[in-house]
Structure 1
Amino acid sequence: MTNTHRTEADLLGERQVPADAYYGVHTLRAWENFQISGTPISSWPELIVALASVKQAAAEANAELGLLPANLRDAILAACHDVREGMLHDQFIVDTIQGGAGTSTNMNANEVLCNRALEHMGHRKGEYRFLHPIEHVNMAQSTNDVYPTALRIATYFAIERLLEAMEVLRAAFDRKATEFAGLLKLGRTQLQDAVPMTLGQEFSTYAVMLEEDMARLRESALLIREINLGATAIGTGITAHPDYAPKALAALRRITGIDLCLAPNLVEATQDCGAFVQISGVLKRIAVKLSKTCNDLRLLSSGPRAGFGEINLPPMQAGSSIMPGKVNPVIPEVVNQIAFEVFGNDTTITFAAEAGQLQLNAFEPVIAASLLRSFRHLTNGCLTLARKCVDGITANPERLRETIERSIALVTALNPVIGYKNATSVAAEAHARGTTIREVVLARGLMTAEALDEALRPETLIRPRADKLAGKP
């Protein structure tokens, strides 16, 4: 050992590890092997906290079974506490995307926790004769139960954060629905004029869509609570005490605050990634509807002179380096792009889950990277859309009124009185002459002015009514 490096060895031989590094030789080799995405596992603090939680639960269970001395347990627990509180995350340097089914991530966690625990015991990093990263920190464990368990815990935390962000956005749309409740506007189907509605009704749909997706996300959280801790290599529990799994589960439930449960068949659970596929599908559903909502916001605010121009999005930045005064809908646009990424991540997760063979899926690292990225970007996207766009949306009442008055689709409201054939003729004449439905109906004497006023009242136009309109001349 020198002042700058220490010597560590693995099955491939000796390597010099930076003396101040909490990681060890296994992590160093993985860091060298997997220069792939540039995104180390330190980018995902929820995954690191989940890994430390699993290691803490394992140490507690093994000590309770008399397999791990109390002094070693206490040192490991102290190290796990440090990492769970946010310390040493920068020491998790392995690329998120890696070969080996997550073994490098597990080794990275073992070494960081071990070397921190050695410090708590008064020893130097790398003095593994006192506490060993595999013999002690990884006791009764395999990457094949540690990694998927940690990923499920990290996913559960990510679900909670996304739900909070979605509620912020849902509430923002709900407030706008109330604010715009009295503003009549023209609805559209297939980008063609349809029947009237209120701007409040339009915005309420965005709140309801979010609420529905939040319910689906909560359902998926129930599925992700099932873990395979204690399965070790392939689900048979080899190297673990018969009572290890239930004791480790009880500890992990207490540490995380999550109502976790053991899978009924650990062999099946160790190879199955179906839960991640299902959750990714929910994220895709959320992304689809968020993107559709952003498409609507961009259309409704298009213009300001030559487009729909019914609402105004808050101006966030200059929109062009060549066109002075141009402002673009940059916030909806970035959320659209998040959605496109989620679609791609879902495809990646689908292929990775399908590609597993026999008793293990070796491709969980790319599932983890794709899933956690979808969660993070959707969470940030919801908050950004709420705070930098929806909260500042205003309406253009004059433009809304103009489109209603000039709409040919208003004739639909008169069907119960003048009949579909007359209504069709009225619409055709109004369109051909560039006049209004009101003018044509009155000119033809199809309804009295009073009856026409009643039929075209806002409250009449936006909801069902039981009575047949009266007032034919």
Structure 2
Amino acid sequence: MTRKEHDFIGELELPDDIYYGVQTYRALNNFKMTGHRFRDYPLFVKAFAQVKKAAAKANAEVGVLDKDKAKALCGAADKVIKGQYADQFVVDMIQGGAGTSTNMNMNEVLVNVALEGMKHKKGEYQYLHPNDHANLGQSTNDTYPSSIKVASVYYLTDLKKALEDLKEALKKRAKEFKDIIKMGRTELEDAVPTTLGNTFNAFATFIDSDIAQIDKACKLMTVLNLGATAIGTGINCHPDYSKAVIKHLSDITGVKFSNAKDLIAATQDTADYVTVSAALRTLAVHLCKIANDLRLMNSGPRCGLGEIDLPKMQPGSSIMPGKVNPVIPEVTLEACYQVMGNDLTITLCAERGEFELNAVEPGIAYALFNSLNLITNAVITINKYAVAGLQPRTADCLKSVMNSVGIVTAFNPYLGYEKSASIAKEALQTGKAVGDICLERGYMSKAQISKILEPKNMLNPRMTQKREG
């Protein structure tokens, strides 16, 4: 079974079982870029349907849309919001036309679902029309970016929850590891002692700062340009529509949205996405730091640092029996590198805006949603499969401290840099312990040396007297 539909370009014959129409059908053939379709981003589909529902309610409220038509559109939107008809959102995420194909995909599906509810056939647009009714008082240029922002709020909320869980897990491990002495390192060289608890507490602090940035980013995504229509002047919408649609959208989503003060500026400005992406990039940098440190502390188990044991997730080699790789930190790194690459894409797309509109906003949406998905999955994964189950190797941590030349730094306040450096040099040349060399040279008594080199005495400021020259 088929049906005929037309647009101003011409007429096409469409399969009658599809709920999208002629404009979506053209886009389906024109844009074959990523293989990732509108339907692959269910939060985006949900957000777009919520925007359309709010628009129908607002248009009915201000008296420009028949209440029965509005009710039918809202009913169709509710079905889409619940996840029905997901397979009908078929346009490629990267497309020409600033998102028009995505907007029309939503308009056509909503109308055809609504037409069936009104006891009409799909494509009988004389009763309910994708442009005249589903898109009434709207343009792609305000509904598309607004839907991106609504979806971003959902994604960022999920990300923040995952980050809060990771922060609490890191703080818990920090408390558990507070008395485990390990060697601190700078530039991969022995430095001075610290604790494993200090290491994990620092990780938690990184994540806490990222949560603050995600909060700020989320607030940016609640400022929309609904009612701007084509370029921000509000042409073709009722004067009271903009205020009404924001109210209804806030009620529908449970999120407090507001309209930008300058709709013309907001319609052409995509810098907010750059700010959000920057927050994700910074988070990616912190996750990379954590993942790399976990890999290094886990290295070995006999010929590396061997300070922790990560959970054994899967065999690590097809040729080396018994080898287990740190696959969770590794996959976290790969996800984070993708986020960093997406950040450059978002920046370049945002730069490409000309005059009253940014035509390549679909590129921003695709990269941003991918980053949000990736970084959220990375946070959940490293928490669940690495942080939660790793175990300290307490004795090995302490052994590395006591065998390190780096602890000679503790002699500086008592002997000065030159003598301490000389001890370090001899220790490296002979393999002797720095305490033994200090005792052999008669610099201090055994009791003094033992007190100074007690690991727990090297964790905090302790110099209480003036060093004599």
Q: TM-score range by the shorter chain?
A: over 0.9
Aligned pair partner of 2:123 in 122, 126, 145:
126
Aligned length: 468
The DSSP-based 3-state class of the residue aligned with 1:389 is helix
Given that 1:406 and 1:435 are in contact with CA atoms closer than 8 Å, whether structure 2 keeps it comes out as no
Q: Name the structure 1 match of 2:106.
A: 109
Aligned pair partner of 1:163 in 155, 160, 165:
160
Matched, 1:200 2:197: yes
Distance 1:415 1:440, change over 3 A: same
Cα deviation 1:437-463 (Å, max 9, x = unaligned): 111112222222222222222331111
Task: Please give the alpha-carbon distance, in whole angstroms, between the structure 2 residues aligned to 1:381 and 1:420.
Answer: 44
Given that 1:226 and 1:262 are in contact with CA atoms closer than 8 Å, whether structure 2 keeps it comes out as yes
Task: Please give the alpha-carbon distance, in whole angstroms, between the structure 2 residues aligned to 1:466 and 1:121.
Answer: 84
Cα deviation 1:183-222 (Å, max 9, x = unaligned): 1011000011000000111111111101111101101111
5 Å-filtered alignment, 1:73-472, equals: 73-465=70-462, 467-468=464-465
Task: Please give the alpha-carbon distance, in whole angstroms, between the structure 2 residues aligned to 1:130 and 1:468.
Answer: 91
Instruction: Please list every run of 5 or more consecutive structure 1 residues that lacks an aligned counterpart in the other structure.
Output: none
Which segment is superposed worse, 446-455 or 93-102? Answer: 446-455
Given that 2:413 and 2:463 are in contact with CA atoms closer than 8 Å, whether structure 1 keeps it comes out as no
Compute the RMSD of aligned alpha carbons: 1.3
Cα deviation 1:345-366 (Å, max 9, x = unaligned): 0111111010111000000101
The DSSP-based 3-state class of the residue aligned with 2:388 is helix
- 1:179 CA drift (Å): 1.6
- 1:469 CA drift (Å): 9.2
The DSSP-based 3-state class of the residue aligned with 2:236 is coil
- 1:466 CA drift (Å): 5.3
Cα deviation 1:48-90 (Å, max 9, x = unaligned): 1111111111111110111111111111111111111111111
Task: Please give the alpha-carbon distance, in whole angstroms, between the structure 1 residues aligned to 2:94 and 2:341.
Answer: 16
The DSSP-based 3-state class of the residue aligned with 1:392 is coil
Cα deviation 1:225-270 (Å, max 9, x = unaligned): 1110000000000000111100111111111122211111111110
Task: Please give the alpha-carbon distance, in whole angstroms, between the structure 2 residues aligned to 1:131 and 1:469.
Answer: 88
Q: Name the structure 1 match of 2:17.
A: 20
Task: Please give the alpha-carbon distance, in whole angstroms, between the structure 2 residues aligned to 1:397 and 1:445.
Answer: 33
Task: Please give the alpha-carbon distance, in whole angstroms, between the structure 1 residues aligned to 2:115 and 2:465.
Answer: 84
Instruction: Please list every run of 5 or more consecutive structure 2 residues that lacks an aligned counterpart in the other structure.
Output: none
**Normalised TM-score (structure 1):** 0.97
Task: Please give the alpha-carbon distance, in whole angstroms, between the structure 2 residues aligned to 1:225 and 1:370.
Answer: 19
- 1:465 CA drift (Å): 2.5
**Normalised TM-score (structure 2):** 0.98
The DSSP-based 3-state class of the residue aligned with 1:369 is helix
Amino acid at match of 1:9: H
Given that 2:181 and 2:456 are in contact with CA atoms closer than 8 Å, whether structure 1 keeps it comes out as no
- 1:467 CA drift (Å): 2.1
Aligned pair partner of 1:61 in 16, 41, 58:
58
Amino acid at match of 2:374: H
- 1:431 CA drift (Å): 1.5
Cα deviation 1:89-123 (Å, max 9, x = unaligned): 11100011110000000000001111111122122
Task: Please give the alpha-carbon distance, in whole angstroms, between the structure 2 residues aligned to 1:9 and 1:420.
Answer: 85
Amino acid at match of 2:178: A
